């Protein structure tokens, strides 16, 4: 689980530079929540593209997370990147005034997708590629909103577990107050990832590492001393979220079909 900070930094910076170059972008854009993942992504982007080519969008809903807003602003100041604050309350409230609900998940997903809409709009306005901020833990557990925070142009952090992002953050000298923050998806006040998932991140990542990276079976992982209920829950979350990691299936009719046997690289002619 231990990463080599300088090496991972080098690979991710080069990845951001090469992918933008291949697709004809000079600029990158990302949603900055003030949490650890988007902060680390902003640090990498600023180094890879130089600060004036990075735009961070801060997209608060009402005054729900005033601390995060403060942190996001301080990161922008620290990195000297471009930024814009866009309050998503009018759009979100307009929808829920017609289709009201108190369901926190529905409301949270709507907010995540509202932010995605704005990111894509600004991506086109500014000719800037969207840098995703989903980590490997979230991707594997499906702990994210499909077509919301999971949507991006490239996803530099997608092969690092949350605990590895903490290590990278330390190496990148991300301010301590951000590194020590309690992880939250920010869907509602008082939400924390660990409370919602019911398992501490260190343990989640250690279990995922055995299951995924080390290809261990459920029983092997349990015999390593991890709680059976934790291992089973994690396996269920992985299975139930496979749809979030794939394009939707297409029924095959023709001789050659998108997603089945029309097989081209992402970096085609790049």
Stretch that binds other proteins, among 12-20, 23-31, 37-45, 113-121 (CB under 8 A): 12-20
Stretch that binds other proteins, among 11-19, 97-105, 175-183, 199-207 (CB under 8 A): 11-19
Site size with other proteins, rule: CB under 8 A:
21
Backbone angles phi, psi at 261, to 5 degrees: -140, 25
The nearer residue to other proteins, 6 or 100, going by C-beta atoms, is 6
Q: Judging by beta carbons within 10 Å of its beta carbon (0-12, 13-18, 19+), is residue 149 exposed, middle or buried?
A: buried
Q: Which of 129, 149, 147, 130 is nearest to 138 (CA)?
A: 149
Determine, following the binding rule CB under 8 A, whether residue 202 of this chain makes contact with other proteins: no
Determine, following the binding rule CB under 8 A, whether residue 269 of this chain makes contact with other proteins: yes
Question: Would you list the DSSP string of 210-237?
Answer: IIIIS---HHHHHHTT--HHHHHHHHHH
Least distance in angstroms from the C-beta of 267 to other proteins: 5
Helix spans in the chain (H): 5-22, 36-49, 66-79, 89-98, 104-126, 136-141, 162-171, 176-179, 193-197, 201-208, 218-223, 228-240
Which 233-262 positions form the footprint of other proteins (CB under 8 A)?
262
Question: Can you tell me which of 13, 15, 203, 224 binds other proteins, judged by CB under 8 A?
Answer: 15
The nearer residue to other proteins, 32 or 160, going by C-beta atoms, is 160
Residue ranges in contact with other proteins by CB under 8 A: 2-4, 6-8, 10-11, 14-15, 18-19, 262-270
């Amino acid at each position: 689980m231990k990463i080599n900070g300088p090496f991972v930094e080098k690979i991710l910076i080069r990845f951001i530079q090469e992918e933008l170059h291949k697709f004809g972008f000079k600029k990158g854009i990302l949603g900055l929540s003030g949490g650890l993942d988007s902060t680390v992504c902003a640090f990498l982007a600023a180094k890879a593209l130089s600060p004036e080519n990075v735009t961070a969008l801060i997209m608060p809903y009402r005054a729900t997370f005033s601390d995060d807003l403060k942190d996001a602003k301080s990161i922008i100041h620290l990195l000297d990147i471009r930024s814009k604050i866009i309050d998503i309350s009018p759009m979100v409230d307009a929808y829920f005034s017609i289709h009201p609900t108190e369901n926190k998940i529905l409301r949270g997903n709507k907010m995540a997708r509202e932010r995605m809409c704005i990111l894509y709009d600004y991506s086109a306005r500014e000719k800037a590629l969207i840098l995703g901020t989903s980590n490997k833990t979230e991707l594997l557990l499906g702990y994210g909103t499909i077509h919301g925070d999971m949507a991006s142009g490239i996803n530099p952090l997608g092969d690092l577990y949350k605990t590895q992002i903490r290590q990278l953050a330390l190496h990148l000298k991300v301010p301590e107050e951000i590194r020590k923050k309690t992880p939250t998806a920010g869907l509602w006040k008082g939400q924390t990832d660990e409370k919602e998932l019911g398992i501490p991140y260190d343990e989640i990542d250690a279990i995922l590492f055995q299951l995924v990276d080390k290809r261990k079976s459920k029983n092997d992982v349990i015999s390593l001393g991890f709680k059976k209920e934790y291992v089973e829950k994690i396996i269920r979350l992985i299975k139930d979220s496979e749809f979030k990691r794939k394009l939707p299936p297409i029924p095959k009719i023709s001789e050659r079909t998108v997603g089945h046997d029309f097989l081209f690289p992402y970096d085609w002619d790049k």
